[in-house]
Amino acid sequence: MIIVTGGAGFIGSAVIAALNRRQITDILVVDHLGADEKWKNLRNLSFADYVEKDDFLEMVVEDKLPGHIEAVFHLGACSSTTETNASYLIKNNYEYSKLLAQWAQHRQGGNIRFIYASSAATYGDGSAGFSDDQDKIENLKPLNMYGYSKQLFDLWARRTGLLKKIVGLKYFNVFGPNEYHKADMRSFVLKAFEQINAADKVRLFKSYKSEYADGEQVRDFIYVKDAVDMALFFLDNPKIAGLFNIGAGRARSWNDLVKAVFAAMGKKPNIEYIEMPESIRNQYQYYTCADITKLRKAGYKKQITSLEDAIKDYVQNYLQKGQYLTGI
């Protein structure tokens, strides 16, 4: 059995879809469905069972999970970068992760593959670089509590020696199908698509640094299909351990992204640059780019989908058709 926490979420459901395409269906999905519509991500997927996260935690504590477990994809977390309840984030993202990682190391003689979601939010403003060298992670200064909760677990896993056995995935700006439920945390690809449908234009923040023109602030955007393929690489190579950046390894501008959405929709670009709220100006990132050298050296050889091709696939095959990922 493979366990996927956060399995009804964006990346979690995409992982299950990819496992299904490998004819793997002995999957335990763990999540908290709540009142949003992420349950819809599960409708086209095949899995053995679903368990709410609190019930799952109780099963872990009491060691009541039956059968042989091959791997745990621990992707469940509060991923809101605007969440201000630090205690909630500590319990949900840090303490829960510690408990699950320790359990996986004690069950079956420590032979359960444990792959967890870290985040590029741990890099903060990028002044310390974007290297996934785990010997330097104590130098990182996250800008928000979400990033810090992820940083705490990375540091704990290194301090306890677990990073020599498990894999942490530092996701950059992931976009793609099955993110529809994420409200304000949805990618700007989806938000741009909605803005174009509503008003035939997209609004972007102006730049407040002379070295960046309006809309030329850059990010490392990666398609969810590539991000999931990278995650499965570590399932297929169980001897590899440590922290790894999950990104395209190339920085692209917001203008590039928006123009690609317009092109995928068969429309001419129409961009309006607006004032950035003063509340976020001091912590706004102008540049992020994953250093994926370590991932490549580990043996990941596949070509990463270009931003334009990824957006075209997302817009034309999912957004315009109202489709979800399927593994069937």
Q: Is 280 contained in some domain?
A: no
- For residue 110, the model assigns a pLDDT of 81
Is the pLDDT assigned to residue 328 strictly greater than 80?
A: no
Q: Is the CA virtual torsion 121, 255, 201, 319 positive or negative?
A: negative
> What band does 129 get if pLDDT is binned at 50, 70 and 90?
very high
- For residue 285, the model assigns a pLDDT of 87
Domain that holds residue 61: 2-176+221-249+289-304
**165-188 tens-digit pLDDT:** 999 999 999 999 999 999 989 999
Is the pLDDT assigned to residue 136 strictly greater than 80?
A: yes
Q: Is 140 contained in some domain?
A: yes
Q: Which of 296, 237, 245 is nearest to 133 (CA)?
A: 245
- For residue 280, the model assigns a pLDDT of 85
Q: What is the DSSP letter of 275?
A: P
Q: Which of 40, 53, 141, 182 is catalytic?
A: 182
Q: What is the DSSP letter of 39?
A: G
146 given a catalytic annotation: yes
Please state, in angstroms and rounded to a whole number, the distance separating the CA atoms of residues 301 and 290.
16
Average pLDDT over residues 232-243: 97
Q: Is 271 contained in some domain?
A: no
Is the pLDDT assigned to residue 82 strictly greater than 80?
A: no
- For residue 173, the model assigns a pLDDT of 96
Q: Is 315 contained in some domain?
A: no
Please state, in angstroms and rounded to a whole number, the distance separating the CA atoms of residues 169 and 228.
10
What single letter denotes the amino acid at residue 259?
A: K
287 given a catalytic annotation: no
Report the predicted TM-score, pTM, of the whole model to 2 decimal places.
0.96
- The domain total for the chain is 1
Q: Which of 26, 31, 16, 41 is nearest to 177 (CA)?
A: 41
- For residue 281, the model assigns a pLDDT of 86
Chain mean pLDDT for the chain: 95
Between 58-62, 244-248, 249-253, 269-273, the lowest mean confidence (pLDDT) is in: 58-62
**145-164 tens-digit pLDDT:** 899 999 999 999 999 999 99
Q: Is 76 contained in some domain?
A: yes
Average pLDDT over residues 212-236: 98
Dihedral angle computed from the Cα positions of residues 178, 180, 184 and 190, in that order, rounded to the nearest 10 degrees? 90
Q: What is the CATH number of the domain that holds 53?
A: 3.40.50.720
Q: Is 328 contained in some domain?
A: no
Average pLDDT over residues 242-261: 98
Please state, in angstroms and rounded to a whole number, the distance separating the CA atoms of residues 44 and 55.
24
Average pLDDT over residues 84-100: 92
**263-293 tens-digit pLDDT:** 999 999 999 999 999 988 887 889 999 999 9
Q: Is 216 contained in some domain?
A: no
Q: Which of 146, 171, 314, 324 is catalytic?
A: 146
Q: Is 81 contained in some domain?
A: yes
Say if CB 315 and CB 193 are below 8 A apart: yes
Helices assigned H by DSSP within the chain: 10-21, 53-61, 86-89, 96-106, 145-159, 188-199, 224-236, 254-264, 278-281, 293-297, 307-314
> What band does 138 get if pLDDT is binned at 50, 70 and 90?
very high
Is the pLDDT assigned to residue 83 strictly greater than 90?
A: no
- For residue 29, the model assigns a pLDDT of 98
